[in-house]
Structure 1
Amino acid sequence: ELLEKMINYGITIKRFDKDEWIYELADGIIGDNYPQPDRMLKHVESVVHDYLIQELCYNEPLERKFDLFAVEGATAGMCYIFDSLIANNILSKKDKIAIMAPIFTPYLEIPHLPRYDFEVVELVADETTGQYSYEELKKLSDPDIKALFVVNPSNPPSIAMKPVIVDGLKKIVEEDNPDLMIISDDVYGTFVENFHSLMADLPYNTIGVYSFSKYFGATGCRLGTIALYEDNVFDKLLSQQDDDKKERARRRYAALSIKPEKIPFIDRIVADSRQVALNHTSGLSTPQQVQMSFFALFALADKKNRYKDLTNLICHRRKKLLFDGLGLKLNEDPFDASYYAQFDLLKWAQNNYGEEFASYLKDNYKPVDILLKLAEKSSIVLLGGSGFHGPEWSVRISLANLNDESYSQIGEVIHSILEDYFVKWKKRGVGNQDGQ
């Protein structure tokens, strides 16, 4: 029944030629040819485009469409984009870029690799709300900042930017830094109701990265996309390069076109992903592309959003169980994806046992001490938030990987460990021992 719905979507909604549509799927799943077109199979791209419009709101009334490149997950997309920005001299060593923190650790590490060696400016989110003040956004007014990297919803706070924050960002880009390149990783977008990607609000400036891995629990399948609006700042910057840079591009892509300098940035990413010389082998494997189309078609056929509602309910329920185990009140936030939970151990200790105990904890221990104790006592392994440039004493918990009861246990064990530290402190006779 589901397969019939998928096939019929292509025939009745997309008006595909039925023989071409079925042949692409059948030939693709066999995997007997290199992907053709190399960027993405024709019909697969069209249905995945519909999926991105539906789920990430790439659906503003725009005059043009988005070109998609099927890649081996968002991580591959990230690597390809970094590489092509350098290979095409859009970014150079020592250039200034901005990163919205906290953020997925590789975005913090890659810019400092010798190949890139960027100067990095961080826009830091509020520790409580996970949102960005206008003062932080104003850092982007500096025209020397050439690119902005953002994960939205964030990782690990797991919070999507509010519309008012996006409006502030749009204002700054349009008025102060119109050539700013934005790389937006939207992998957690489906976990926020009515999520709106920066691809919709700033399509000219933004290149979007998405992975099917989180929403469909298919990390091992390596299914992702790079999306770029047909009219974009990346192509504009290429067209404005000096003769020396254009000549380098002509030499780099000479085997691909009689006018290599005219190759759009999205197609340069495709070629660069195979060191240009192997461009004819570019592209995500065709069985993976068919799997991607099936995920997209499944979501497109689910008109009542049963799957989305269920997955989001599971994540929010687990966060509630975690917070109950910690003895914390969970405040509802419509921008909370609840794919991860992040909370501050030091603030928790202060709220439960008082300021003096929190100071003792901070002065005598490191967050890793508590995380190691947690692993020893319960075999639970959590990550510290500081590695994501979050608060030093914050911890990050994935809400997508364990059974519900595990999150109650995590909260209870953390509570128990901090209680042990409190008892130890009391026995030392330090400070105010009344607790709270």
Structure 2
Amino acid sequence: MSDRDYSEFEDLSPFELKDKLIEIASSSADRMMLNAGRGNPNFLATHPRRAFLRLGDFAVEEAERSYSYLDSGFGGLPEKDGLLQRFENFLHRHEDVEGTTFLKAALSYAKDQLSIHRHELIHEMVAGFLGCNYPVPPRMLTHAETIVGAYLAEEMFNGEPRQGPFSVFATEGGTAAMTYIFQTLKANGLVRKGDKVALGTPIFSPYLEIPPLPDYDMPVVDIRMEEGTDWQFSDAELAKLEDPAIKVFCIVNPSNPPSVKLSPEDLDRVAAVINDKRPDLFVVTDDVYGTFADNFVSLFAKAPRNTLCVYSFSKYFGATGWRLGVIALHEDNVFDEALAALPEETKTILDKRYSSLTTTPREIRMIDRLVADSRAVALNHTAGASTPQQIQMMLFAFAGLLDRDDRYKNAAKSLIRKRFCTLELNMGVKPHREPNDVNYYTLINLQHLSGRLYGDAFADWFVANKKGYDFLFRLAEETGVVLLPGKGFEVVDASARVSLANLTEADYASIGAFARQVITEYYEQYSGKPA
């Protein structure tokens, strides 16, 4: 066992630390590195991708119709006249090809459930696939917004009553959404330096790292979830939100890294604080893991006026490389209300900021300011996610809407939950899941694991000697396994985050066995005798 001191790395972001752990884990040529540090899934949705390729075949055929006489790979913009009939003929000619049935079902669903004219939809899809026009509207293609909005309503509301319409802005992944939100809040005077940001912790580390940046200089208030109640909030923690100096509350639900959703009771308690005690509070809920949870309901449904919803298609559909995310905001919202209530001096400054977009800049809604600010306002006319990205996003949304029996959803959930059980069993403990556990990640409480394996006295020694952080480096050095520290996500106890999405079940068996091996070595050091 190495005696090297790794404390010099304690202040690194967990994702920067990951690179150092990978370097250590890869140092031995005679073993395979197992990286469970990053949550990139090793599964993906194939049907909407097949449909994308099939749509692409038709789209290119349409482009070739215009200038085929030039015989030089030269195409033109798709023609609307007769487009739907040509598409139906195309599907008929390729009815035995993968993706065709999906496209038929998608157009049928759009007409029957969303009242979208199929002719208009197929034109948007073909032109969008070809990427031959700027995104118009820049916030999101018209039918793509409707379809993605329907998918969000399906996944985020779970039967809760709708509180009016909401708009959707397509972004380059969930991380871009986070960036745009903080930029626009600051640019519009809705937050200022010194205003407090409350974070539901543990939380995805960038939410911890953005507010203290010099651009924002916003103190962070932890609203801590408690491990003893399966990562829910206490009344005392929620009471912190009543502080009027707190302007923004950010939460990842289900949480990262504990991977637990707010219980129905906790969700109602959080919503009650917002709706009854802090109707002025700006809320950002990041719900990227909601589609892996059972019966998920978002704060976007429970506190609709206050909440910006961030969602990414990356994890559920295995599309991290596509960079597909959205921001959703109800039309009736406190952000627009706050903009209207700004001092005249601030409004005058903002008039100048947005004057190139319209003669009535004060009427620009928050959701559209997010779009403009994402391109420094002056480039608003070229804002928006690329149209091929939006078409793939639309097809992913259709995949969710068409999954009536939850076949894909159940497969994804059962896969990660089986991996959780395998990991626990091979660590030498009995697997235990609470009703709100999601298991996209799992957080290994190293103190609890030490106690379960070798008793409370050893667990106390493990903590007193600060072995939790050291554990990660020894695990990487001795076994080639890479995990991330819970500390980087504002977890109090010594812990390690394991992504259950990106390796094989056999790998998780190895990780569990290796984790137990290292804990056992610590026990032998503690006891002075073999375990």
- TM-score band by shorter chain is over 0.9
Letter of the structure 1 residue corresponding to residue 196 of structure 2: K
1:320-359 superposed Cα distances (whole Å, 9 cap, x missing partner): 0011111222223221111000021122112322233223
2:241 maps to 140
The answer on 1:48 being equivalent to 2:148 is yes
1:27-83 superposed Cα distances (whole Å, 9 cap, x missing partner): 000001110010000011111111111112175333521100000111000000000
Aligned residues of 2:429 and 2:453 also touching (Cα < 8 A): no
1:260 maps to 361
Distance 1:269 1:165 in 2: 30
Which segment drifts farther, 2-11 or 314-323?
A: 2-11
2:103 maps to 3
2:88 maps to none
- Greater than 3 Å deviation, 4+ residue runs: 363-366
Shift of 1:6: 1.4
2:323 maps to 222
1:141-176 superposed Cα distances (whole Å, 9 cap, x missing partner): 112211100000000000111121122122222332
1:210 maps to 311
The answer on 1:196 being equivalent to 2:291 is no
Distance 2:214 2:413 in 1: 40
Distance 1:422 1:271 in 2: 57
1:368 maps to 469
User: Gaps (5+ residues) in structure 1?
Assistant: none
1:36 maps to 136
The answer on 1:386 being equivalent to 2:504 is no
User: Gaps (5+ residues) in structure 2?
Assistant: 1-100
Shift of 1:294: 0.5
Distance 1:373 1:201, change over 3 A: same
Match of 1:87 among 174, 178, 187: 187
Which segment drifts farther, 32-41 or 159-168?
A: 159-168
Distance 2:419 2:158 in 1: 29
Letter of the structure 1 residue corresponding to residue 111 of structure 2: I
Distance 2:359 2:343 in 1: 19
Aligned residues of 1:127 and 1:391 also touching (Cα < 8 A): no
Aligned residues of 1:192 and 1:334 also touching (Cα < 8 A): no
Q: Taking structure 1 as the reference length, what is the TM-score of the superposition?
A: 0.96
Of structures 1 and 2, the larger Rg is shown by 2
2:97 maps to none
Q: How do 1:198-347 residues align onto structure 2 when only pairs under 5 Å count?
A: 198-347=299-448
Distance 1:390 1:195 in 2: 24
Aligned residues of 2:158 and 2:295 also touching (Cα < 8 A): no
Q: Taking structure 2 as the reference length, what is the TM-score of the superposition?
A: 0.79
2:232 maps to 131
Distance 2:504 2:498 in 1: 13
1:379-427 superposed Cα distances (whole Å, 9 cap, x missing partner): 1100010110003411100000001111111111110111112122222
Distance 2:416 2:298 in 1: 21
Distance 2:439 2:528 in 1: 38
Distance 2:159 2:335 in 1: 21
1:14 maps to 114
Letter of the structure 2 residue corresponding to residue 243 of structure 1: E
Q: How do 1:56-75 residues align onto structure 2 when only pairs under 5 Å count?
A: 56-57=156-157, 60-75=160-175
SS, match of residue 433 in structure 2: coil
The answer on 1:106 being equivalent to 2:202 is no
Distance 1:118 1:88 in 2: 15
Distance 1:409 1:63 in 2: 48
Distance 1:277 1:392 in 2: 47
Distance 1:144 1:422 in 2: 47
1:174 maps to 275
Distance 1:384 1:39 in 2: 37
Shift of 1:374: 1.1
Aligned residues of 2:428 and 2:453 also touching (Cα < 8 A): no
The answer on 1:351 being equivalent to 2:452 is yes
Letter of the structure 2 residue corresponding to residue 47 of structure 1: I
- Which has the bigger relative contact order, CA under 8 A and spacing at least 6? 2
Distance 2:503 2:221 in 1: 36
Distance 1:14 1:168 in 2: 33
Letter of the structure 2 residue corresponding to residue 244 of structure 1: E
Aligned residues of 2:312 and 2:325 also touching (Cα < 8 A): yes
The answer on 1:186 being equivalent to 2:287 is yes
Match of 2:250 among 131, 135, 149: 149
Aligned residues of 1:319 and 1:338 also touching (Cα < 8 A): yes
* Corresponding pairs, count: 430
Distance 1:23 1:237 in 2: 39
Distance 1:25 1:396 in 2: 40
